[in-house]
Amino acid sequence: MGKIKTIFKDDLGAVNRCLRSYSSVYMVYDSNVAALTGEISKHVRASLPITVSERMKTVEEAVKIDRWLLEQNADRKALVLAVGGGVTIDLAGFAASIYKKGIAWACVPTSLLAQVNAAVTGRTGVNLGAEKDILGSLQKPDFAFICPKALETLPSRDYKAGVAELLKTFIISDDAAYEMTLNALHSNYQDTLAELVTTAAEFNAKMAGHGSEEKSVLNLGGIFCDAIESFQLSNAVAEPLSHGEALAVGLVMTARLSESRGYAREGLGDKIARDLEAIGLPTVPPCAEEDIQDIIIRRKKAEGGRLNVVLIEKIGKVKLTRI
């Protein structure tokens, strides 16, 4: 999969210029960001608001989008424009990839987490029961339009969850950018943060265009994050951690595993935990670690007895290994 066209603009209305070349545009958006859609509806033929949550990220919900497209007489030259966070992008992108054997789609991510990762990697997925992102596609979007203005009304909890994804990117790639992010957050340097978001998004987009082994480092923390989310789905947890919050816990657990396996110096897990806690992110699993291990072991058996895991040597350097 080649590099995704990532467009960085301060003006949300500039999306309209990207849409002029399409014969018909169908917008699927998170109902929570309805106020933003007025600026980007000039070339939109029809719009579908959806209510999003991790529990709704299912094949059934994607099929509902496809039924709507069919009712709107969307043809194979149509473009699906996803406006919202990661769940919206996953659902709309997946729906587009299976509608009439695949039509074009693009996205305007409105959450920090989506701007840094979901919008630029080209991976869409839906859950199957308690199995996180077990179904999906690799059809990349025509473009990902990233605008800082879209984050202005983001709730504090959602913003912090996105910071986990931002820091994860720099744990993989850039120790200096990791520390700059922490300093910018504590000093409320919004301009610096906007630049760091751009840097992280560009890195993730670049890595997503590489071969499977190279881009697998983007799954740092994912083995624990996915297990936590699967546990929450299967046990109908009343107040589950969001994806970004589960990722924060996963990063700490990965750092501690890296220490125990001799990849990282002692104290790395404590440092990352302190950094995340200072932002207001969780660092302790919402369930017994045995429950997480049981899910990981089950997946390990399903993968022939070995799992790829990204471990941390130090902030700014990771290593893919098999366990």
**Tens-digit pLDDT profile for residues 95-149:** 999 999 999 999 999 999 999 988 887 778 898 887 888 888 888 899 999 998 8
Q: Does residue 209 have a pLDDT over 80?
A: no
Per the confidence metrics, is the pTM higher than 0.85? yes
Domain residue ranges in the chain: 6-151, 156-322
Q: Does residue 270 have a pLDDT over 90?
A: yes
CB 135 within 8 A of CB 109: no
Q: Does residue 45 have a pLDDT over 90?
A: yes
Domain 156-322 has CATH 1.20.1090.10: yes
pLDDT of residue 205: 84
Q: What are the DSSP E strand ranges found in the chain?
A: 6-8, 25-30, 46-50, 79-84, 104-109, 124-128, 131-137, 144-146, 308-314, 317-322
pLDDT of residue 125: 86
Rounded CA gap, 6 and 143, in Å?
6
pLDDT tier at 75, thresholds 50, 70, 90: very high
SS (H, E, C) 59-124: HHHHHHHHHHHHHCCCCCCCEEEEEECHHHHHHHHHHHHHHHHCCEEEEEECCHHHHHHHHHHCCE
Q: What is the average per-residue pLDDT within 196-213? A: 83
State the CATH architecture for 6-151.
3-Layer(aba) Sandwich (3.40)
Tokens of 302: 């399903």
